[in-house]
């Protein structure tokens, strides 16, 4: 019987397989029941499916046996190798169903809905009328034999206890294949998660039939009321991740907790686990949060649609207004924290797990000494590293589509007032590039002296006519790493590579550095009449993507640049970037930038720098500059960096988050465009992290060949950096860039509400305290601002006898008096301390 004759379903087309189907799994094969000989091999679930489908024999006794385990060489008195004491490890579990009631299709449906990775095949005695089948469940890593019973209990509970008692025999193996090419023989692969990672199956754990196994082996019941603090403690302590998460999400979904709030609660609990304790269980469960959310919230929504759920009770932490009585049955919405001002909302915290290990010491030391937000230092350092490494490196983000690749090319912008030290941060991070540039100019200067001498000698020999002068000496080129004059002309001279080129870019790209980006933005079309053209802007836009580019100039002629590519780092103040953003063309220029809006400047530490950290960063940039892909030889080509199978999970989940955020109804078109570039940005960040790790020496002075497979840990870091650092800064930057006069009024009034700490605010109170909206002709503008605060859940207008008249007072959301007020109080205390500090400085000067 051929594989084509049997019925095999992979759940997907052959052109789009899942990596788990192709992951090696240890299988032991026995020739017969006696098991006097064995064959152990590493195969894949996909290959095993084809083998089971194509194997056939005249009788059942002639079929081979298989077992997802490794066996030793110990034999029984009868010479059998298949006995419990001889099992060394398990690579999966098997279960046998001979009840002849549950159909093969039902079994596949149960496994599919549970997201269980498995192979299901029919027994040799199976018929459609009398179904018999077996389930093979590979696990994520080989485990000791004593863990098999627990995993089998998970599978048995999922299938409502249908499996035969012999399934619990540790060394039990099973026939595979069909008898006489049975036309009912079926094999199906089910895509999903290995059973050892599906902790939620402990909820329905069932042991061996006719035993007292009514609970999971730990004896802990998985029923009764949800104890939210206890479940959160289980997560924080690492005692249980998935089971606790599933129960919490189920509770929150039934309570009506918003999807994104539930996601943040669970992520926060998971992130309280210390970095040293974040093992593979933690990483798998953390990466699985969004999948669980989608499944549980989707099921809850469907149940509510069917009328199977009562109305959600009031959410904890939410408040009802005490007055007026007509509104007492309405819940307050969750107030939107729209204040992008770091003084009230805080900036995201950059932690060691967000960056490659070799880069973080420099970022931490520099930020601590300068008293600046580490996120700004990290962004400038990453752009510097990206500028140093060769643009010939690329990554293939998808599994099979090799037509899309990304290069290590980043644009970064620091947004804030002069007090956040944008220029000093950029200077500190780009210092290694300055050194490379200075050393290149020194080499060029020496090479030019030698060239001019050789040229003079060549001319003299040619003029004398004595002998052959040989070829004319070739003029040296100046290596360029950095450009600060940002005209298209200056860039083209650094990047061109034709016979007339006087410069070259060893990395295949250049770093554009601007202390003040407004100067760069103003340089567009500087030499054009009126300065309003768009050709130069288009040239800058193309720098982000790289690739061949042709320059046509009247006086300079036409020449092609092999790679029109640049990294960019700059700073800009809120005022200029607001003008640029609000008047800019919708061409995606600003969306190409990774923005950072650092928190306020602190004192800094007056100490010696960490020399090891500084030298390590300098060495890293130099190693990156020397890290080039090998040149193709004998017709071969150097392929892109590819992702490990587990790394794709982080990429897909990060991209799914960006798609979800872009699909939210209140997401602006600007942010949608930024989220549209998220997949490419993720790939660039991940590739850069990978190259930084590869360029880092294992020991001082040691080098190693570059591995072209990006690990799951690197992908996790890239996702964490994008989601937990860059995403909040993107939202902060968007709020800063598109602040209007009305949003400015809204922020002032919001601060006034937090400062008053009262349950009610009247228009009279506002106009008395806020002169900008005091005039009667500004009343309409004030009402528009208050309506905006209503839509954001901050206030609610008082009930009026005449609804056609505008409101004159508003009730304040009680949540503002707790959560937001704590932030406001912390900021007030900080400002008070600063005022006292300034006063003490002034008094000390007077005493002096």
* pLDDT, average across residues 352-379: 94
Mean pLDDT in residue range 239-268? 79
| Residues above pLDDT 90, as percent of the chain | 34
CA angle 487, 488, 494 (to 5 degrees): 100
Same domain? For 579 and 498 the reply is yes
Return the pLDDT at 156.
92
Mean pLDDT on 714-742: 81
Domain assignment present for residue 581? The answer is: yes
Whole-angstrom CA distances from 794 to 461, 811, 813 are 87, 9, 5
Q: Is 614 helix (H, G, I), strand (E, B) or coil?
A: helix
Please state the length of the chain: 848
167/20 same-domain check: yes
Between the CA atoms of 600, 606, 825 and 340, what dihedral angle is there, to the nearest 10 degrees? 10
pLDDT band with cut points at 50, 70 and 90 for residue 619: very high
pLDDT of 1 > 60? The answer is no
Residues 248 and 111 in one domain: no
Query: Domain for residue 780, yes or no?
Result: no
Give the residue from 346, 320, 322, 343 showing the smallest Cα distance to 333.
320
Overall domain count for the chain: 3
pLDDT digits (tens, 9 = 90+) for 204-233: 788 887 654 444 444 433 444 567 887 888
Which range is least confidently modeled, 9-13, 652-656, 752-756? Answer: 9-13
Using alpha carbons only, give the angle 386, 388, 389 rounded to the nearest 5 degrees. 70
Per-residue pLDDT for 99 more than 80?
Answer: yes
| Residue 10, pLDDT above cutoff 70 | no
CA distance 573 to 375: 17
Assess if residue 310 is contained within a domain: yes
286: containing domain? 228-316
Listed range (177-186, 501-510, 669-678) with the worst mean pLDDT: 669-678
User: Average model confidence (pLDDT) for the chain?
Assistant: 80
Whether residue 820 has pLDDT greater than 90: no
Cα-Cα-Cα-Cα dihedral of 765, 771, 773, 775, to 10°?
100
Alpha helices by DSSP H, listed for 114-175, are 148-158
Q: What mean pLDDT do residues 104-128 have?
A: 90
Handedness of CA 424, 430, 436, 437 (dihedral sign): negative
Question: Is the per-residue pLDDT at 827 higher than 60?
Answer: no
Distance between CA atoms of 364 and 370, rounded to whole angstroms?
Answer: 10
645-667: average pLDDT: 80
What do you get for the CA distance between the two ends of the chain, in Å? 101
Q: Residue 582 has what pLDDT?
A: 60
Radius of gyration of the chain (CA): 33
What confidence score (pLDDT) does residue 632 get?
56
pLDDT at 704: 62
pTM of the shown model: 0.54
Task: Look at residue 226 in the predicted model and tell me its pLDDT.
Answer: 60
Position with higher pLDDT, 250 vs 452: 452
Handedness of CA 199, 205, 207, 213 (dihedral sign): positive
pLDDT over threshold 80, residue 538: no
Beta strands in 515-616 (DSSP E): 549-553, 557-561, 566-572, 594-596
When pLDDT is cut at 50, 70 and 90, the band that residue 331 belongs to is: low
Residue 165 inside a domain? The answer is yes
Q: Has residue 608 got a pLDDT over 50?
A: yes
The answer, yes or no, to whether residue 616 has pLDDT greater than 90, is yes
Average pLDDT over residues 363-368: 95
253 and 172 in a common domain: no
Same-domain status, 183 and 265? no
pLDDT, tens only, 153-165: 999 989 988 998 8
Q: Is the dihedral of CA 322, 325, 329, 335 positive or negative?
A: negative
The answer as to whether 329 is a domain residue is no
Edge-to-edge strand ranges of the sheet holding 186-190: 7-9, 186-190, 118-122, 133-143, 87-97, 69-71
Indicate the pLDDT class of residue 553, thresholds 50, 70 and 90: low
Rank 61-75, 309-323, 511-525, 776-790 by mean pLDDT and report only the highest.
61-75
pLDDT of 830 reads 61
Greater model confidence, 751 or 147:
147
Q: What is the pLDDT of residue 585?
A: 55
- The answer to whether residues 672 and 660 touch, using CB atoms and an 8 Å cutoff, is no
* pLDDT for 667 beyond 70: no
HEC profile of 489-521: HHHHHHHCCCCCCCEECCCCCEEEEECCHHHHH
Q: What's the confidence (pLDDT) of residue 11?
A: 34
Q: 143 and 247 in one domain?
A: no
Identify the weakest region by mean pLDDT among 62-66, 464-468, 527-531.
Answer: 527-531
Domain presence at residue 234 = yes
Task: Indicate whether 699 pLDDT > 60.
Answer: no
Are both 573 and 456 inside the same structural domain?
A: yes
Same domain, yes or no, for 440 and 508? yes
Contact 140, 195 (CB under 8 A): no
Alpha helices (runs of H) in 666-762, residue ranges in sequence order:
669-676, 678-695, 712-721, 727-737, 741-756
Higher pLDDT, 10 or 596: 596
Q: Answer with the residue of higher pLDDT: 558 or 320.
A: 558
Same-domain pairing of 171 and 23: yes
**Average pLDDT rounded to a whole number, residues 705-732:** 89
539 shares a domain with 444: yes
Res. 385: pLDDT tops 80: yes
Cβ contact 574:417 at 8 Å: yes
Last residue of a domain, one of 265, 290, 316: 316
**Residue that finishes a domain, picked among 551, 576, 593:** 593
pLDDT at 452: 93
Q: Are residues 449 and 571 in the same domain?
A: yes
Is residue 703 assigned to a domain? no
What is d(CA 632, CA 639) in angstroms, rounded to the nearest whole number? 10
pLDDT computed for residue 313 by the predictor: 40
One domain, residues 454 and 554? yes
Return the H-helix or E-strand segment holding 578: helix 574-583
pLDDT number for residue 322: 34
- Out of 411-415, 514-518, 842-846, least confident range: 842-846
Per the DSSP assignment, residues forming a β-bridge with 197 are: none
Distance between CA atoms of residues 382 and 361, nearest Å: 13
Q: Which of 316, 341, 362 is the last residue of a domain?
A: 316
User: Is residue 836 helix, strand or coil?
Assistant: helix
Statement: residue 792 has pLDDT above 90: no
Long-range contacts of 602-606 (CB under 8 A, 24+ apart): 602/371, 602/372, 603/371, 604/368, 604/369, 604/370, 604/371, 604/372, 605/368, 605/369, 605/371, 606/369
Residue 655 lies in a domain: no
Strand bridging mode 503-504 / 760-762: unpaired
User: For 105-119, 344-358, 589-603, 696-710, which range has the lowest pLDDT when averaged over its residues?
Assistant: 696-710
């Amino acid at each position: 019987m051929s594989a084509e004759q049997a019925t095999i379903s992979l759940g997907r087309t052959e052109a789009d397989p899942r990596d788990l189907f192709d992951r090696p799994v240890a299988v032991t094969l026995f020739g017969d029941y006696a098991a006097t000989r064995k064959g152990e091999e590493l195969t894949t679930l996909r290959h095993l499916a084809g083998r089971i489908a194509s194997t056939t024999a005249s009788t059942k006794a002639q079929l081979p046996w298989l077992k997802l385990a490794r066996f030793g060489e110990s034999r029984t008195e009868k010479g059998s190798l298949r006995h419990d004491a001889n099992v060394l490890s398990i690579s999966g579990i098997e279960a046998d169903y001979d009840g002849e009631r549950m159909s093969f299709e039902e079994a596949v449906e149960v496994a599919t809905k549970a997201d269980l990775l498995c192979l299901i095949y029919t027994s040799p005695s199976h018929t459609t009328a009398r179904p018999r089948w077996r389930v093979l469940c590979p696990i994520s890593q080989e485990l000791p034999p004593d863990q098999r019973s627990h995993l089998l209990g998970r599978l048995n509970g999922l299938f409502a206890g249908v499996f035969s008692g012999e399934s619990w025999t540790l060394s039990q193996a099973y026939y595979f294949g069909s008898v006489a090419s049975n036309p009912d023989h079926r094999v199906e692969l089910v895509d999903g998660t290995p059973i050892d990672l599906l902790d939620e199956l402990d909820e329905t754990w069932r042991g061996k039939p006719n035993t007292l196994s009514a609970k999971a082996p730990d004896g802990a019941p998985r029923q009764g009321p949800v104890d939210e603090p206890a479940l959160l403690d289980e997560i924080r302590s690492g005692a249980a991740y998935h089971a606790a998460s599933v129960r919490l999400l189920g509770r929150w979904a039934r309570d009506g907790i918003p999807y994104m709030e539930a996601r943040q609660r669970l992520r926060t609990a998971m992130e309280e686990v210390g970095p040293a304790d974040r093992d593979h269980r933690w990483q798998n469960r953390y990466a699985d949060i969004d999948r669980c959310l989608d499944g549980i919230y989707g099921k809850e929504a469907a149940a509510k649609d069917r009328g199977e759920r009562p109305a959600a009770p009031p959410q904890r932490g939410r408040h009802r207004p005490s007055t007026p009585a007509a509104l007492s049955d309405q819940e307050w919405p969750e107030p939107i924290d729209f204040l992008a001002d770091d003084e009230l909302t805080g900036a995201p915290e950059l932690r060691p797990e967000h960056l490659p290990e070799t880069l973080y010491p420099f970022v931490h030391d520099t930020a601590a000494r300068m008293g600046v937000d580490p996120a700004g230092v990290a962004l400038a350092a990453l752009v510097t590293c990206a500028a140093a490494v060769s643009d010939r490196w690329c990554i293939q983000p998808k599994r099979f589509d090799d037509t899309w690749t990304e290069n290590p090319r980043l644009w970064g912008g620091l947004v804030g007032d002069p007090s956040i030290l944008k220029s000093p941060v950029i200077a500190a991070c780009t210092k290694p590039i300055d050194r490379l540039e200075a050393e290149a100019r020194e080499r060029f200067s020496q090479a030019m002296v030698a060239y001019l001498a050789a040229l003079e000698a060549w001319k003299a020999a040619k003029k004398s006519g004595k002998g052959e002068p040989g070829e004319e000496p070739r003029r040296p080129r100046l290596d360029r790493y950095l450009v600060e004059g940002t005209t298209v002309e200056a860039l083209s001279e650094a990047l061109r590579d034709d016979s007339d080129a006087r410069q070259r870019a060893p990395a295949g790209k250049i770093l554009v550095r601007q202390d003040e980006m407004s100067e760069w933005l103003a340089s567009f079309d500087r030499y054009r009449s009126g300065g309003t053209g768009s050709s130069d802007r288009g040239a800058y836009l193309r720098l982000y993507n790289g690739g061949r580019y042709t320059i046509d100039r009247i006086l300079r002629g036409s020449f092609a640049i092999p790679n029109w590519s640049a990294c960019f780092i700059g700073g800009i103040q809120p005022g200029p970037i607001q003008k640029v953003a609000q008047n800019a063309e919708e061409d995606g220029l600003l969306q190409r930038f990774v923005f950072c809006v650092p928190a306020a400047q602190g004192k800094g530490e007056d100490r010696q720098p960490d020399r090891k950290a500084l030298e390590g960063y300098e060495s890293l940039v130099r190693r990156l500059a020397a890290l080039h892909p090998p040149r193709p030889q004998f017709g071969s080509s150097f392929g892109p960096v590819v992702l490990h199978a587990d790394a794709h999970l982080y990429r897909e989940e990060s991209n799914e988050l960006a798609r979800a955020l872009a699909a939210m109804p209140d997401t602006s078109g600007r942010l949608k465009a930024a989220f549209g570039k998220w997949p490419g940005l993720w790939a660039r960040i991940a590739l850069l992290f990978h190259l930084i790790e590869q360029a880092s020496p294992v020991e001082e002075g040691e080098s190693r060949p570059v591995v072209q497979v990006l690990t799951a840990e690197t992908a996790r870091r890239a996702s964490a950096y994008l989601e937990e650092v860059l995403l909040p800064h993107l939202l902060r930057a968007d709020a800063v860039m598109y602040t209007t006069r009305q949003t400015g009024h809204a922020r002032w009034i919001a601060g006034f509400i937090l400062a008053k700490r009262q349950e009610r605010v009247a228009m009279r109170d506002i106009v008395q305290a806020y002169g900008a909206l005091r005039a009667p002709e500004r009343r309409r503008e004030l009402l528009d601002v208050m309506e905006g605060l209503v839509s954001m859940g901050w206030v609610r207008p008082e009930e009026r006898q005449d609804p056609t008249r505008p409101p004159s007072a508003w009730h304040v959301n009680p949540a503002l008096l707790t959560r937001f007020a704590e932030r406001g109080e912390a900021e007030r205390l900080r400002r008070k301390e600063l005022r006292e500090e300034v006063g003490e400085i002034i008094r000390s000067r007077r005493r002096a």
